[in-house]
Amino acid sequence: MKKVTAGRDALGEFAPKFAELNDDVLFGEVWSRETQLSTRDRCMITVTALMSKGILDQSLKYHILNAKNNGITAEEMAEILTHAAFYAGWPNAWAAFRMAKEVYADDNE
């Protein structure tokens, strides 16, 4: 996984410790742990968790793109969101589908 600098880019001067934890711990140590979960699995879990919590902003879109970049196809993403809709809420699913449709749009061209 490539080194993440989003925290430092957005908050480095304002909240340097938070930026460090975001980049080095969350996206460094947690996402790269060698356990029973692949990065692809972590992507599915993260998208589902964000949708379930109603976090339907750019962070969800980022993680849908991350899922795509880690091998989750448009068809698989549609199935993940459809399944999660019954647990996370129909309106959350609609919002997530709109983002996923944007992320996967260039696959149809």
Residue-range domain boundaries for the chain = 1-34, 38-108
Task: For helices 58-69 and 74-88, give the axis angle rounded to 10 degrees.
Answer: 140
CA dihedral 105, 2, 27, 95 (to 10 degrees): 0
* pTM of the predicted protein model: 0.84
Instruction: Say yes or no to pLDDT of 2 above 80.
Output: no
Confidence label for 57 from pLDDT (cuts 50, 70 and 90)? very high
Segment 36-56, tens digit of pLDDT: 899 999 999 999 999 999 999
**Contact 12/39 with Cβ under 8 angstroms?**
no
Q: Please give the CATH topology (third level) of the domain spanning 38-108.
A: AhpD-like (1.20.1290)
Q: Which tokens in the block code for residue 44?
A: 């599915």
Segment 13-30, tens digit of pLDDT: 999 999 999 999 998 888
Instruction: Say yes or no to pLDDT of 108 above 70.
Output: no
Instruction: Say yes or no to pLDDT of 1 above 80.
Output: no
Return the closest-CA partner of residue 52 out of 82, 93, 80.
93
Distance CA(96)–CA(104), nearest Å, equals 12
Mean pLDDT of all residues belonging to the chain: 92
